[in-house]
Amino acid sequence: MSIFDIIAVLILFSGVFIFINTFYLKLPSSIGLTILAIILSFLVLIFGYVFPEFHLAEHVKKYDFAEVMYRFVLSVMLFAGALNVDFRKLGDQLIPVLVLSFFGVLISTFVIAGLVYFTAGLLGISLHFIACLVFGALISSTDPVAITKTIQRFRMSNELETKISGEALLNGGIAIIMALVLVNIYKEEAAMGSLNFTGAAWILLRDLGGGLIAGLFFGWMGFSVLKYVDNDSVEVEVLVTLALVMGGSYVADLIAVSSMVVAVSTGLILGNFGRNEKGENAVGSYVYRFWQLMEETLAAMLFVLIGFEMLVIPLRLDYFALGFFAVNFALFARWVSVFIPIRLMSMSRSFDDGTIPVLSWGALRGGLPVAASLSLANFPGQELIITMTYIVVVCSVLYQGLTLTKVMQFYNDKHPMKWMD
């Protein structure tokens, strides 16, 4: 089975599951797809034991997803997410959103890493602290599609809705970039034998600073080209943006900077300079719809892939035990990472009642952590990170996803005047 066969299987099941969920289960897409994918993986496992010659797990295990996840899926999803960020719409909520996104991920990463490292030692699992930091960073990424669709079902203040949707859009890019920069720092340390503070700072500056400069260049170049393309020439504009994403990823690897930073900064430039008050200018509205479709399609495929992960993760009791501990660590870290910045900002700004619990419980994990964990080729502790990511994402989607509406409804009923537009 080739990579094209695996992609075809993922697309097939994604389409079938979306149909079943839309017309029969009628659950939020992330929840419905995850439930169906897990059921499918159980059926595949049972079928494989009965008919070993047709065991799909053996085919899945043979293929390394790292290259596809790193070079295509992550770049596309991060670019699409950044393209949807409109700083003008954030208005006076821009500062809170930026603080929550950056410092929230930073706090969450270190809280999760410390708790996982300590608990792994108690369970007798050897795990490098930087691997704990990588896991802490990638699992801090939230799913903007699931969160946005959920909050649209409730009437809340514009300020709170802007904070939730804006933070969700920026959070994923920051978290994944941090995780992959930490991976590069570890690889440099392994190659050199040791790495001091100066060396780590240089890698950080090279990946982030170099990626930002390259992303600004690609964003400016794309904006300059798209200004001369008629918005009705949809296919030309789409191909130009595709070329920017793929070309940016290729060039980033050539000059040894973070391709994820390039994708995010390119998307931010086009998303903000490429549109006017009507939603389009240099970039036509169909381009935004195309990239939203790409993001949601890949997200659907990744939720199906979550179910198939059960076929490849090692069935070790200690790994699963640490994974279930990580579920609670991720929830606690999210609360801390929201509570501290909001309490500090509350000295000079007002926040709606319910902001902390809704932001904390609404942090659904999605496809980005799955893609990031599968992209960690030859990284020590990858199997454990994949196992923990699988457990945290599934528990987040099912437990938080199924109860989030109740949490939001509770605060909607408790403070109706403050939540209404």
Q: Which two tokens stand for residue 72?
A: 């295509």
The pLDDT of residue 416 is above 60: no
Provide the CB-side half-sphere exposure for 51 (13 A, CA): 6
Give mean pLDDT, residues 400-419.
70
Closest CA to 77 of 177, 214, 227: 177
Q: How far apart are CA 106 and CA 333, in angstroms?
A: 10
Both tokens of 167, joined, read: 């933070």
Report domain extents, the chain.
Answer: 66-419
Which pair of tokens denotes residue 21?
């969920």
Environment class of residue 421 by beta-carbon count within 10 Å: exposed (0-12), middle (13-18) or buried (19+)? exposed
Residue-wise DSSP of 332-354: HHHHHHHHHHHHHHTTTS---TT
Amino acid making up residue 1? M
d(CA 96, CA 99): 5
Q: Where are the alpha helices (DSSP H) in 84-152?
A: 87-90, 94-122, 129-139, 144-151
| Interacting residues of 203 by C-beta distance below 8 A, sequence separation 6+ | 181, 184, 185, 188
Condensed to tens digits (0 to 9), the pLDDT of residues 8-62 reads 878 888 899 999 999 998 887 888 888 888 888 888 778 777 776 666 666 666 6
Cα separation, 219 vs 217, in Å, equals: 5
Tens-digit pLDDT profile for residues 364-409: 888 889 889 888 878 888 889 989 998 999 999 888 888 887 777 7
| Residue 116 confidence (pLDDT) | 97
Cα distances (Å, whole numbers) of residue 153 to 59, 150, 406: 41, 6, 12
Name the token pair of 250. 């290729």
pLDDT tens-digit profile of 259-274? 999 999 999 999 888 8
Return the axis-axis angle of helices 401-414 and 29-50, rounded to nearest 10°: 160
Domain 66-419 fold is Na+/H+ antiporter like fold (1.20.1530)
90-147 pLDDT, tens per residue? 888 889 999 999 999 999 999 999 999 999 999 999 999 999 999 999 999 988 767 7
Distance in angstroms (rounded) separating the CA atoms of residues 410 and 37: 30
Residue 209 burial by CB count (10 A; 0-12/13-18/19+): exposed, middle or buried? Answer: middle
Q: What's the pTM?
A: 0.89
The token pair at 65 is 């997803």
